[in-house]
């Protein structure tokens, strides 16, 4: 039950962010932008599984991944926008939009993962050096 | 805004429950089912809105809120990335999943979009 509450809150916040961003006139590709943003965040969060799960509480992680990332990104609006391009017989634009969304989406998941791994590694290296120094000073 | 929040929260919970059940049996097709279902509902709702059957408030609740929260692009991308590039390397399933999601999602949307025509 608590899991569902976390997902609900995450989904509500994510949807709100998506609604505000995609209604923003400054960004012509609102849906594209939120989708890629969500992919990047999900990539970062997906590092915290298995051995690394201890860094983020499991319920919070669920709220952020299934809730927030799922809520901030959307597949239905994406499909609808493709459909609108097709209706206007803008076939090349439709294809381009699909390809750009897919490639950037996958790429940003990957960026998120790599960035997070790098940060974690730096963090752990730092910690290790500090511990070693303390140990040596203790001697 | 409150409508978006509420719809999005409900959508996310529905997605979590449904995709959880299906993903247990056949990963990653739970997300696929959710996305296609969401597209069908989106198609129906936007058509009903264009035909003036539903108010713009209800539209915001259903489309920006529920459908937006229910369907997900991030999980879809992440699963595709893991299948095509990453730890769960399975290029065949990855490509099937990718192409099926895009095409059947679009098809679902069109079915939803043209469904109200049949009844009116």
Helix, strand, or coil (residue B73) = coil
C-beta atoms of A43 and B38 within 8 A: no
What length does chain B have? 120
Q: How confident is the model at residue A2 (pLDDT cuts 50, 70, 90)?
A: confident
Pairwise CB contact (< 8 Å): A80 & B109? yes
Q: Tell me the two tokens of residue B117.
A: 């025509």
The predicted structure's pLDDT at residue A11: 94
pLDDT at position B18 is 92
Residue B108: half-sphere exposure toward Cβ, Cα within 13 Å: 23
Which stretches does DSSP call E strand in chain A? none
pLDDT digits (tens, 9 = 90+) for B31-69: 999 999 999 999 999 999 998 888 888 999 999 999 999
- Integer angstrom CA distances of residue A132 from A119, A136, B8, B50, B101: 20, 6, 48, 67, 51
In this complex, the residue of A11, A83, A105 whose CB is nearest that of residue B109 is A83
pLDDT for residue A39: 95
Residue of B nearest to A67 (CA): B12
Question: Are B11 and A71 spatial neighbours (Cβ–Cβ below 8 Å)?
Answer: yes
Nearest to B8 among A12, A105, A108 (CB): A12
Q: Are the Cβ atoms of A16 and B8 closer than 8 angstroms? A: yes
Res. B90 pLDDT band, cuts 50 70 90: confident
Rounded mean pLDDT, B98-117: 92
Chain A residues close to B41, C-beta within 8 Å:
76
A93 to chain B, minimum CA–CA distance in Å?
15
Candidates B20, B37, B64, B73, partner chain A, best to mutate (most A CBs within 10 A): B73
**A139 band by pLDDT with thresholds 50, 70 and 90:** low
When CB atoms are compared, the residue of B42, B74, B81 closest to A38 is B74
Q: Evaluate if residue A86 carries a pLDDT over 80.
A: yes
pLDDT average, residue stretch A56-82: 92
Q: What is the DSSP letter of A50?
A: G
Q: Degrees (nearest 5) of the Cα angle B97, B103, B109?
A: 120
Q: What percent of chain A has pLDDT over 70?
A: 96
User: With contacts defined as CB-CB under 8 Å, which chain A residues touch B85?
Assistant: 106, 110
Q: Is residue A104 scored above 90 in pLDDT? A: yes
Residue in chain B closest to A114 (alpha carbons) equals: B86
Helix and strand totals (H; E) in chain B? 6, 0
Q: How far is B11 from chain A (nearest CA, A)?
A: 7
Please report the pLDDT score of residue B2 as a whole number.
Answer: 84
Split at pLDDT 50, 70, 90, the class of B25 is confident
Question: What does the pLDDT read at residue B116?
Answer: 83
d(C-alpha A102, C-alpha B82), whole Å:
14
Per the model's pLDDT, the better-predicted residue between A74 and B28 turns out to be A74
Four-point Cα dihedral B6, B9, B13, B15, nearest 10: 110
CA distances from A37 to A7, A18, A119 (A): 19, 10, 19
Contact A75 B13 (CB under 8 A): no
Of A15, A105, A109, the CB nearest to B65: A15
Name the residue of chain A whose CA is nearest to B98's CA: A102
ipTM for the predicted complex comes to 0.91
């Amino acid at each position: 039950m608590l899991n569902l509450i976390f997902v609900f809150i995450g989904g509500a916040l994510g949807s709100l962010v998506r609604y505000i961003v995609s209604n923003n006139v400054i960004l012509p590709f609102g849906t594209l932008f939120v989708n890629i943003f969500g992919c990047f965040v999900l990539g970062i969060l997906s590092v915290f599984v298995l051995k690394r799960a201890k860094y983020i509480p499991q319920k919070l992680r669920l709220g952020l991944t299934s809730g927030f990332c799922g809520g901030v990104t959307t597949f239905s609006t994406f499909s609808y926008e493709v459909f609108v391009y097709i209706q206007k017989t803008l076939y090349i634009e439709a294809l381009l939009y699909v390809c750009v969304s897919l490639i950037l989406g996958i790429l940003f998941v990957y960026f998120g993962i790599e960035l997070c791994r790098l940060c974690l590694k730096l963090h752990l290296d730092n910690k290790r050096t500090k511990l070693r120094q303390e140990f040596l000073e203790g001697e | 805004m409150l409508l978006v929040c509420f719809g999005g929260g409900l959508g996310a919970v529905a997605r979590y429950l449904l995709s959880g059940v299906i993903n247990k049996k056949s990963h990653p097709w739970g997300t696929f089912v959710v996305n296609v279902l969401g597209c069908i509902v989106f198609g129906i709702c936007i058509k009903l809105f264009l035909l003036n059957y539903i108010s713009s408030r209800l539209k915001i609740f259903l489309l920006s809120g529920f459908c937006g929260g229910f369907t997900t692009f991030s999980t879809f991308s992440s699963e595709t990335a893991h299948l095509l590039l990453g730890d769960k390397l399975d290029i065949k399933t990855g490509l099937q999943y990718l192409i099926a999601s895009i095409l059947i999602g679009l098809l679902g949307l069109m079915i939803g979009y043209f469904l109200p025509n049949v009844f009116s």
